[in-house]
């Protein structure tokens, strides 16, 4: 937020606010109508089969439209200089060391333009106490470095993340290569079993990133940077994460009447979502959950879920149905 007299004046001036909004909307229209963006969308939606390879081919064609992209983004930079309250019409994506703008977003592919700040990268490494983590995102990813910043990257591999992922069998990750990155260089990292780490850089890194959601793994996996052992896994599916939060909210609200809906959610393709739903059902009403729990213990396709369901069922039966809060968890 911009503080001071300029902000106060802008907030008091409806015409100025309207002008800012009109500039943002005009920039969004120019972006959506540009042939390079239209072509990217057409290449994605008309692809005979949306594989990471076909999606990355479309993304490369888009990234190759250097003149068009420079003109569009240059126009937005001019808008920012003319109006300090103008914001490019892109969703921002930020992390501890980088800031990106989401240039294109489709259920099977997103393309962003980002900057990794060398100062932020150095500060993160300086603040770190103990080992870091090496993140295998679960997503096939295309990286193209507009400005490499003289960065050195290390490349890592781990066992393939499959739909039957079990943390106990995740093994270890290992270093396979390390090297300098040049301006204009690109590579594909299959986040289902490959990862990279920015070891150090001399200046800010500017990059395109294309991430294929089609064909991604159900979970991303983190490994300890020193022991190289698996230390955790997380969902790659936003819809499943939202479903889990809503189910937990129903349990907190005591909505036992939602049981039929929760039973439907047990058909989720994500094994961790099925177990989360079952845990909340048991916490809401263990006795009512027993029939579904028995079916899960006998026939869930994931071994960790079957094991957790069997252990929980044994707790309920041993404690005469009063096992709330004592459910087991998949490994």
Is residue 324 a part of any domain in this protein?
no
Same domain, 74 and 96: no
Same domain, 189 and 218: yes
Same domain, 4 and 39: yes
Could you give the number of structural domains in the chain? 3
d(CA 310, CA 313): 5
Tell me which residue of 10, 31, 16, 15 sits closest to 76, measured CA to CA.
31
pTM across the whole model: 0.84
The pLDDT value recorded for residue 244 is 93
At 278-295, the pLDDT tens digits run: 999 999 999 999 999 999
Question: Residue 46 corresponds to which tokens in the numbers above?
Answer: 């008309």
Please determine, for residue 320, whether its predicted confidence score (pLDDT) is greater than 80.
no
**Mean pLDDT, residues 230-248 taken together:** 92
At 150-178, the pLDDT tens digits run: 999 999 999 999 988 998 889 999 999 99
The pLDDT value recorded for residue 328 is 52
Please determine, for residue 67, whether its predicted confidence score (pLDDT) is greater than 90.
yes
Q: List the domain range (segments joined by +) for residue 225.
A: 90-236
Same domain, 205 and 154: yes
Q: What is the DSSP string of 3-49?
A: -SHHHHHHHT-HHHHHHHHHHHHHHHHHHHHSHHHHHHHHHHHT-SS
d(CA 329, CA 282): 13
Higher per-residue pLDDT: 123 or 331: 123
Same domain, 173 and 73: no
Q: What angle do CA 314, 319, 321 make, to 5 degrees?
A: 85
């Amino acid at each position: 937020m911009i503080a001071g007299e300029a902000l106060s004046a802008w907030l008091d001036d409806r015409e100025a606010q309207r002008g800012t909004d009109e500039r943002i909307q005009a920039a969004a229209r120019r972006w959506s109508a540009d042939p390079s963006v239209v072509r990217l969308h057409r290449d994605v939606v008309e692809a005979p089969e949306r594989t990471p390879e076909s999606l990355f081919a479309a993304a490369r064609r888009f990234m190759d439209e250097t003149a068009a992209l420079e003109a569009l983004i240059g126009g937005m930079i001019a808008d920012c200089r003319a109006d300090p309250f103008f914001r490019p019409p892109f969703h921002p994506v930020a992390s501890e060391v980088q800031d990106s703008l989401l240039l294109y977003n489709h259920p099977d592919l997103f393309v962003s333009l980002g900057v990794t700040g060398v100062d932020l990268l150095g500060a993160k490494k300086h603040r770190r106490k103990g080992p870091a983590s090496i993140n295998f995102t679960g997503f096939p990813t295309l990286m193209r470095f507009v400005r490499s910043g003289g960065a050195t990257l290390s490349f890592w591999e781990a066992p393939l993340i499959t739909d039957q992922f079990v943390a106990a069998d995740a093994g270890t990750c290992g270093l396979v290569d390390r090297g300098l990155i040049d301006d204009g260089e690109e590579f594909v990292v299959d986040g289902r079993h490959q990862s990279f780490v920015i070891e150090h850089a001399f200046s800010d890194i500017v990059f395109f990133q294309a991430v294929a959601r089609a064909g991604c793994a159900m979970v991303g996996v983190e490994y300890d940077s020193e022991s190289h052992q698996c230390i955790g896994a997380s969902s790659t599916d936003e819809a499943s994460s939202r479903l889990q939060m809503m189910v937990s909210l129903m349990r907190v609200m005591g909505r036992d009447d939602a049981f039929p809906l929760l039973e439907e959610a047990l058909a989720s393709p994500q094994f961790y979502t099925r177990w989360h739903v079952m845990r909340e059902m048991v916490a809401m009403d263990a006795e009512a959950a027993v029939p579904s729990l028995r079916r899960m213990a006998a026939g869930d396709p994931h071994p960790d879920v079957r094991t957790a369901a069997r252990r929980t069922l044994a707790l309920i039966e041993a404690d005469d149905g009063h096992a709330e809060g004592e459910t087991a968890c998949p490994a």
